[in-house]
Structure 1
Amino acid sequence: MSDGRAAKTIENPFLTLPVGRLFMSNALPMAVVMSTSGLLNVVDGIFVGRLIGTQALAAVSLAFPVVMLLTALTTLTGGGMSSVLARHLGKGARREAGAVFAGAHGLALALSAALMLGALTFGPGIVSVLAAGNEPVAAPARSYLLILILGAPVQFGLGLHADALRNEGRSGHIALLSVLVNLLNIAANYIAIVVLELGIAGSAIGTVAAQSLGLMLLLFVRKRDPALLPLGMIRNASWLTGWRQILALGLPLSLSFVGMALVAGTVLLAIGNTAADHGTYVAAYGIVTRILGLAFLPQMAIALTTQSITGNNVGAGRMDRASAALRLAIGYAFLWCLGVTLTAMRAGKMLGALFSDKLEVITAVGAIMLPMTALYTVTGPILVLAMHFQAMGHPLRTAVLTLMKPWLLTPVLVIVLNAHSGLQGLWFAFPVADAALLLVALTIVFRGRVFDAPSTTLRPMEGS
């Protein structure tokens, strides 16, 4: 079938469905997809904390910065590809979309090789520094991370195919497969950790196995559905296509996850230099990151839905639909984040008790969560706005909204407040950083007249 005939015969739901229905039909499945992944992370933490112990929970918490680096690289390829892919699909340019999809695979393999080389060279030393010399925590963390890093190509491939299906209007397929794979992952982790007594290494093995199954299922879906970009496009196109554009558009969001790793590393170093009971506070901080990680994923689903709708409609010259979806997404993101804030205020210690029976860990979880979530309500709307700009091809605006907080505001504030007020003071770095970023976002919105943009087609990489 020719590219032109494909464009005429395959209807693009992002351009035809009512905006409200379109948003919900994509956001809800994506929220299910991402929430089940976050729930897996929470359940895994409960297994580790309850069935192995505080030291093991501290070890997987110590690994969090590197896990975020893996997420960042997955987002670099998948997120950058999505911005370009969605606009090509919106224009009906399937051949160009297939070329970008193939190029993203080549980039993912190159990043996997670089990551493995870097981990084998520098990884053990970095883990030792973050552990502040606590070898009983550092040793299992190294084993856990080595397994995850060796499985990175599978994670990258899974992310690429899930992002492509999302932009092709198949969020429901991803949701169904995600629930299945994550339930199997929970079962596999339980068997590996409890029955086989593999410790936290068993958690990593279960994760890589589940990701492998998920990738095979996504490939099967693509092979069976003729409306999707065919696998032949991936095999036949150059795997060097579009790297520069993918990197430029994926880098801001990717660097935001690297920034999260930077923030986590800064906090862990501050704990190591300040806390007398290092293991307790590392474990408590790890619990909080798992809980807030789960809370972050539904707002990320809202943001990714915005990205897909904006990209397809900008490609088709329908800026009015993109702006309507943006307003809807910001409202939903605000309501979700408000619910997270209220839950943290009322049930912080109760959530901590799910992971550990140690009173000191539970108390520390409550003390950390309360200040960290004080201004959490602004994080979702700002993320939605950033992904809207990313889908339009505005890397500079995206970079400001996604990078300023994790790369500058939070690390500096953690260091300053920790030096001024000790361990209890550093947690207030998070709401202060949220307040500063809110001012920046409002400035961009009012100066750029974001919500009343004209109904014109923007150039793919229009300046910011």
Structure 2
Amino acid sequence: MSARHAAQQVNPFLTVPIGRLFVSNALPMAVVMSMGGVLNVVDGIFVGHFIGSDALAAVSLAFPVAMVLSALTTLTGGGMSSLMARYLGAGDRGAAGRIFAETHGLVLAISVGLVVLWAVVGAALVDSMAAGNPKVAGLAQDYLQIMILGAPAQLMLGVHADALRNEGRAGLIAALSVLVNLFNIGANGLGIVVLGLGISGSALGTVAAQALGLALVIGVRGHSKGLLPLSVLRARNWLGAWSQIIRLGLPLCLSFIGIAMVASVVIVSLRLSAGTDYNALVAAYGVVTRLLGFAFLPQMAIALATQSITGNNAGAGRTDRARAALRLALGAAFLWCLPVVLAGVFAGTTLGSWFSDDPAVIDAVAEILRPMMLFYAASGPVLVLALYVHALGQPGRTAALTLVKPWLLTPLLILALSIGFGVSEMWLAFPMADAIILMLAVMIGRNVLHTAGTRAAHAEEGA
């Protein structure tokens, strides 16, 4: 028996029943993602109640840049994952180790570029978004400077966490995530509430937690025999395959940058149309982004579990198992989105009061959330389908599902509605974009499943 066939036999992604495999990967990843969402919500509560509405507005202004950092984490880790999972499924650990090492080189190059770019344009960018409020601009700059300098820890942690996920260690990632995020919450509370460091305390706590998480995952890999050894980082060249990693990671990366662009368009539209309500609406929109960010993360967990299962099984030629995982994931994502819709429609005022004592901010949170929820239930299944085709190595279809809405539909609709009907109708841009992308997803999904079914039938005839 060849080493490759032996590796395939011991790969749980290829042998464990799909239902149990999906639960064992999706639930730990949901814990990982949800803990990050809890952190964002708690941090927002700390900022809103212990620093004030100006700080909450500053964090809202910083949100697009923070999303760019998340996008770059997805670029490196997501691009690596599409390749690594298929290599592991095929039993080629040498190729998987090579991609793992090359992704480290890409992370270092991106980190240097970020620091240089921030030094050149960071201050001017924040000032332009603060609408002439120097206090808010100063708070946002303090926050983002710390986050940019700590970006290498965030990016490298993402790479190592994605590698562990594709090696079947989702449960381990969940345990480490709980520990790191609890540390992060405690560190943020210490910095903001006890030490009085203001918004900088939030950023310092986050960077410290990411550094701790990176140290833990490196330690785990160094002491686990079943994982790719750390020695591959010394033995392999870090300069190869960057273009391949970027090509596969770019659709997911650009989708996160698209979220940042949508947030920027919203802020610009509010600046032009909101008048004296600008600060309250920006603060409320920041609250909404945190709430929907929390709701998005379990969807992402389901999609990431689907990606790992699909990639490993596609690499081994088990299309039937990949499609079974897709069907299960689509249903799970839809069921998660339903209670989110109910909460957004009926509990917006309560949710807003968690973050602020300002009645204007609280009412604005509810007014923003209600229209956003009209087609929100479709967002989870669309994301699952996007990660499914990404795992199959189809960046074009992934781009169609992840980039059309944030880069084209939502910004254009926001601008058109805000100019034509005012701020109150602007929020309808989000459900309108959701409805259009759902129709696109149905067409792509039917095509993908039909193609896979045809290939499977031909394979059976050939056998």
Letter matched to residue 309 of structure 2 = I
Question: Aligned equivalents of 2:23 and 2:339: distance in 1?
Answer: 19
Residue in 2 that maps onto 1:454:
455
Residue 373 of structure 1 and its aligned partner are, at CA, apart by 1.6
Residue in 1 that maps onto 2:112:
113
Question: Aligned equivalents of 1:340 and 1:124: distance in 2?
Answer: 36
Residue in 2 that maps onto 1:231:
230
Letter matched to residue 153 of structure 1 = P
Residue in 1 that maps onto 2:163:
164
Distance 1:456 1:154, change over 3 A: farther
Determine if contact 1:323/1:452 at 8 Å carries over to the other structure: no
Residue in 2 that maps onto 1:145:
144
Question: Aligned equivalents of 1:382 and 1:212: distance in 2?
Answer: 33
Please say if 1:218 is aligned against 2:227: no
Residue 125 of structure 1 and its aligned partner are, at CA, apart by 1.0
Residue in 1 that maps onto 2:20:
21
- 3-state SS of paired residue (1:331): helix
For 1:385-400, what aligned pairs fall within 5 Å after superposition?
385-400=385-400
Distance 1:209 1:129, change over 3 A: same
Determine if contact 1:284/1:364 at 8 Å carries over to the other structure: yes
Question: Aligned equivalents of 2:265 and 2:90: distance in 1?
Answer: 44
Residue in 2 that maps onto 1:415:
415
Residue in 2 that maps onto 1:264:
263
Residue 9 of structure 1 and its aligned partner are, at CA, apart by 8.8
Question: Aligned equivalents of 2:134 and 2:123: distance in 1?
Answer: 11
Question: Aligned equivalents of 2:272 and 2:323: distance in 1?
Answer: 47
Residue in 2 that maps onto 1:445:
445
Question: Aligned equivalents of 2:218 and 2:356: distance in 1?
Answer: 39
Letter matched to residue 390 of structure 2 = Q
Residue in 2 that maps onto 1:331:
331
Determine if contact 1:316/1:457 at 8 Å carries over to the other structure: no
Question: Aligned equivalents of 2:169 and 2:454: distance in 1?
Answer: 28
Distance 1:44 1:453, change over 3 A: farther
Moved more, 20-29 or 122-131: 122-131
- 3-state SS of paired residue (1:239): coil
Letter matched to residue 27 of structure 2 = L
Determine if contact 2:8/2:14 at 8 Å carries over to the other structure: no
Residue in 2 that maps onto 1:372:
372
Residue in 2 that maps onto 1:289:
289
- 3-state SS of paired residue (1:454): helix
Determine if contact 2:28/2:174 at 8 Å carries over to the other structure: yes
For 1:183-194, what aligned pairs fall within 5 Å after superposition?
183-194=182-193
Determine if contact 2:8/2:89 at 8 Å carries over to the other structure: no
Determine if contact 1:29/1:171 at 8 Å carries over to the other structure: yes
For 1:27-426, what aligned pairs fall within 5 Å after superposition?
27-275=26-274, 276-426=276-426
> In the comparison of the two structures, how many residue pairs are matched?
456
If the length of structure 2 is used for normalisation, what is the TM-score? 0.96
If the length of structure 1 is used for normalisation, what is the TM-score? 0.96
Determine if contact 1:10/1:227 at 8 Å carries over to the other structure: no
Moved more, 272-281 or 373-382: 272-281
**CA distances 1:105-126 after superposition (whole Å, capped 9, x unpaired):** 0001111111111111111111
Identity %: 59
Residue 454 of structure 1 and its aligned partner are, at CA, apart by 3.1
Question: Aligned equivalents of 2:381 and 2:443: distance in 1?
Answer: 14
Residue in 1 that maps onto 2:432:
432
Question: Aligned equivalents of 1:341 and 1:6: distance in 2?
Answer: 46
Question: Aligned equivalents of 1:199 and 1:418: distance in 2?
Answer: 34
Question: Aligned equivalents of 2:430 and 2:159: distance in 1?
Answer: 31
Letter matched to residue 368 of structure 1 = I
Letter matched to residue 453 of structure 2 = D
Tell me the C-alpha RMSD between the 2 structures: 1.6
Question: Aligned equivalents of 1:96 and 1:6: distance in 2?
Answer: 15
- 3-state SS of paired residue (1:266): helix
Question: Aligned equivalents of 2:98 and 2:6: distance in 1?
Answer: 16
Residue 188 of structure 1 and its aligned partner are, at CA, apart by 0.5
Residue 6 of structure 1 and its aligned partner are, at CA, apart by 9.6
Residue 452 of structure 1 and its aligned partner are, at CA, apart by 3.0
